[in-house]
C-alpha cells in the first residue's frame, strides 16, 4: 500500500460508549480517546499528518452547552479535506466511523485500517 508521507490522515473509530452504565461511560470514552491518540502517534512517527476527531472530547468537557450533532458536521467538514482515513479498532460498531467511512468512499479517499498501518512503510 502506498500513501505519500505528509498526507493528511483522519483517524476514525468509536468515541461514545454503547451499552454501558453512566458510571462506566466516561472511562470508556477516555479509553477510546487514548486509543485514537496512540494510533495517531504511530502515524505521525511514520511521517503523516493526522486529524484525530476524538480531541473534541476535551472541548466537550469544557463547554457548558451541548453541541449535539454539530460535532458530526464539524468532523465531516474536516474529513473532506483529508487525503486518507484510518479505521481503528471497533470502527465497525461505531455509527460515526461507519458514516465517515461511507463519506471517504464517496470521495474516493485512500482507506486503510489500523491493522494495515505497517503495510504503509
pLDDT in tens, 26-36: 889 899 999 99
Q: Which pTM was predicted?
A: 0.91
Q: Taking 80 as the threshold, does the pLDDT of residue 1 lie above it?
A: no
The domains of the chain, with CATH numbers, are: 8-17+25-63+70-120 (3.40.50.10400)
Q: 107-112: long-range contacts (C-beta < 8 A, 24 or more apart)?
A: 107/80, 109/82, 109/83, 109/84, 109/85, 110/3, 110/7, 110/83, 110/84, 110/85, 111/84, 111/85, 111/87, 112/1, 112/3, 112/84, 112/85, 112/86, 112/87
Q: What is the mean pLDDT of residues 83-109?
A: 96
Amino acid at each position: 500500500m502506498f500513501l505519500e508521507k505528509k498526507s493528511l490522515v483522519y483517524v476514525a473509530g468509536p468515541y461514545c460508549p454503547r451499552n454501558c452504565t453512566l458510571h462506566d461511560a466516561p472511562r470508556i470514552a477516555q479509553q477510546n480517546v487514548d486509543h485514537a491518540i496512540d494510533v495517531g502517534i504511530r502515524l505521525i512517527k511514520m511521517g503523516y499528518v493526522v486529524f484525530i476527531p476524538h480531541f473534541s472530547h476535551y472541548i466537550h468537557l469544557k463547554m457548558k452547552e451541548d453541541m449535539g450533532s454539530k460535532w458530526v458536521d464539524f468532523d465531516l467538514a474536516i474529513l473532506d479535506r483529508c487525503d486518507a482515513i484510518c479505521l481503528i479498532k471497533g470502527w465497525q460498531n461505531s455509527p460515526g466511523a461507519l458514516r465517515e467511512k461511507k463519506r471517504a468512499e464517496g470521495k474516493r479517499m485512500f482507506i486503510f485500517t489500523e491493522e494495515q498501518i505497517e503495510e504503509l512503510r
